[in-house]
Every structure is written in structure tokens, then in C-alpha cells.
Amino acid sequence: MARKKATRRGRNEGSITKRPNNTYMAQLVVGTKDDGGPDRVTKYFADPQAAKDWLAEQRVLVGRGLNAHPAQQSFGELAEAWMKTQKATVAGNTYEKYVYNYRHLEKLKPLAPKIVKDRLQAHLNELAGKLSPSTLRGVYYIARSVLEEAYEKDLILRMPKIKLPKLEERAPRILETEQINFLVDASKTSKYHYGLWLELGTGLRRGMMLALDWDDFNFKDNTVTANNRMVRENGGWLIKPGAKTKAGARVYDVPPVVMASLMKIAKPGKPMFETDTGSRLSLWNWSRLFRSWRLHADQAIELENEKRQALNEQQADSALPLVKKIGDVRFHDLRHQFASFLKELGVHIFTIQDMGGWSDPDMARRYSHSDRDQTRAASEKLDAVISPFLQ
């Protein structure tokens, strides 16, 4: 029985041929072989629509300059196509995270998917000791997604059993009083030192804090309205409306001592963290700035401990305790520091959640809320705790 004539779809659009066993063969010319002949990619389907869909997908790959031939397509080419799809379907800051996490798969990009599936577990295990848990989860998600693409394209026969390495979540670090004093002193060399005051007094998320304008502060009422956040998108930093959680976007009470200090340096009509060029300080620059404060504070602590050790050798009966170094404390840990202050003051847990803008999964959270009188009273209690640091 003669094979049915192929259905042509035009130049470089491929063809679909019905075979004697009622299956359909789809073919597309994707290039030229070394001998000058056409290099075709071929796949078989049970119904014609699936064949048409596959041809359309292959034409997209060829149009993007990617190699559509299964025998030659690399993990990197599949990943690039997946990343382009994600760019069109996810939020800009989410895509930026994908770009950052994708860098950690660099060494796998030139390899064939069937080789990557055998090496991926070892690669993830190696990264586990170097990356944060959230970054490692992001790398794992991208790698799994790309291999699923390879499986759908029959580039690998089965999905590998890849396990996410055991992750140890980093517990937040709570500072002692003397450590906070050294950190505040270290920050005084920067013109943005007031960001540390605001964080200790409000526990604002970093992205929301850096999105503030001086006009967001109500100095008569001791409050700040935080309804925006800074995000990274399309290679730059943007201010977007809304917070990370619904509970985060609202009016925050600020301890009076912090507001009094901020009022002295406020510049109406300007961003709170304005650079010399008129732009806003970015999230990354703020993180670098905080790390420098942390380093200078530890250097000062080391000198202080040397003095105390010398005195302790002379007066063994009244030894002075040494100050612990600040070490790897993150700026985000100060949100927990803020909550710790309130907890020590006896503030109710629901009031702490409202003041910090946390979303509690506990069902009781939906029915128990604190009012403005309670948050204002708690903020005034906090004033007594923070005041010594700002003297």
C-alpha cells in the first residue's frame, strides 16, 4: 500500500504525513548537514493536531536561533527557551530571580539533557553548601522544569529522581543590647544611618522602607504610611504599589524618639533614601551598606574586648563580660529584633503581628485583631527601649 502524500505546510513550515498504521509523521528542515543535505527533525504522533502543534513549537525554536534537532539540542538551549517563556508569563521581579538562579546552572548548559539528568543531583549537592536555602530551591525548580521540557520532547526517556538536598533554614539572629549600641555607632558614619533607627522602631521590610518618601511621614501623629515596595525588574529598580503581604501595606506607628530624630533631617518632596544623583538607594546598595556597618561594629567590638581582657587580668575578682561579635546578622533579622523587643515588653502576639505586618496562618488570626490604640501604646513602650541607642 502506497504511503499517503505528505501535507506540505509551506517553505520551512514542515510537513505531516499519514502513515499506513494510522500514525502521523511530522518533519521540519532545521538546517543543512555537513554533506550539504537537509537536516530534518522528525517525530511521530497518534493524531494530526498533535503533529501540527509540535511543528509550530519547532518553528518557534528555529526562529529564536535555537537548535531544534533532538540529537543536538543542549540543556542550555532548552533552558533559554524555557526562560523566554517565563519572561512573558511571570512578574518582572520573579523573572529577575530566575535569571539570578539560572547562573548557578552555567556548567550544565553545554551538555545534552540525557547527561544532565545523571549529573544534576551531584551538582545540586555541591551547591547546597554554598547557596542559601531559597536560592537552592530556585535552582532546583529551574533544573527540574527544563528536564520536564526535555522529557516532553523525548530527549530523555524518563524523569530522573532528583531530590532537593536537605536544607537547614537559617534561624534569625537576635542582638544583645551592647551589640546594638556598637551597630548604631558604626552606622553614624553614613548619611543613611536613620534607616537603622526606623528599622528598630518599626520592623519594616527592606523593600518597603527604601520605597518611602519623606511625605509619607505624619510627624504630628507619629506614623508612616507604607503602601509601596521596591522591586528589581528588567535590570533596574522600580517602585510598585502594594506590599509583600496584604497585612504589610498600611499605616505604621513609629516610636516618638525615632520620629523626633527623623523630623530634624526630613526633606519634604524627596525620597527618604535619595542618592547624590537624585535616584533612590537600591536594595543591593542598602545590603552592602549594612554589611559595612556590621564589619565596622565587629572591629570596634574586637578593640573593646581587648581593653576588657586587659582590665580582667588586673582585676580578676570583677571580670567584665566580653561583647559577642555581630557576625552574619542580616538586615532582615532586625525585623525579628523588633518583634523581640515588643515580646519582652509584654505586647500581645496579635498586636505584634499587626505592627510588623506579618500574615499568620493560624485561623485565630482571622478573628483576633489589635486596634490603633493598642499599636500606639506598644509603640510608646518601645520608645523607652530604643531611646538609649539614639543618645
Q: What is the DSSP string of 139-169?
A: HHHHHHHHHHHHHHTTSSSS-----PPP--P
Burial 15-40 (b: 16+ CB within 10 A, else e): bbbbeeeeebbbbbbbeeeeeeeebe
Q: How far apart are CA 353 and CA 241, in angstroms?
A: 21
HSE-CB at 202 with a 13 A cutoff on CA atoms is 28
| DSSP assignment string, 205-227 | -HHHHHT-BGGGEETTTTEEEE-
Query: Which residues have CB under 8 Å from 367's CB, separation 6+?
Result: none
pLDDT of amino acid 69 = 56
- How far CA 125 is from CA of 101, 106, 129, 130, 143, in Å, comes to 15, 15, 7, 10, 13
Give per-10-residue mean pLDDT for the chain (391 aa).
46 79 85 70 86 83 60 84 89 84 93 91 89 89 92 81 81 88 95 94 92 96 92 81 64 92 95 94 93 96 94 81 91 89 84 74 39 74 84 72
Q: How far is CA 84 from CA 24, 99, 343, in A?
A: 29, 11, 47
Q: What is the pLDDT of residue 366?
A: 36
Residue 325 burial class via C-beta count within 10 angstroms: exposed 0-12, middle 13-18, buried 19 and up = middle
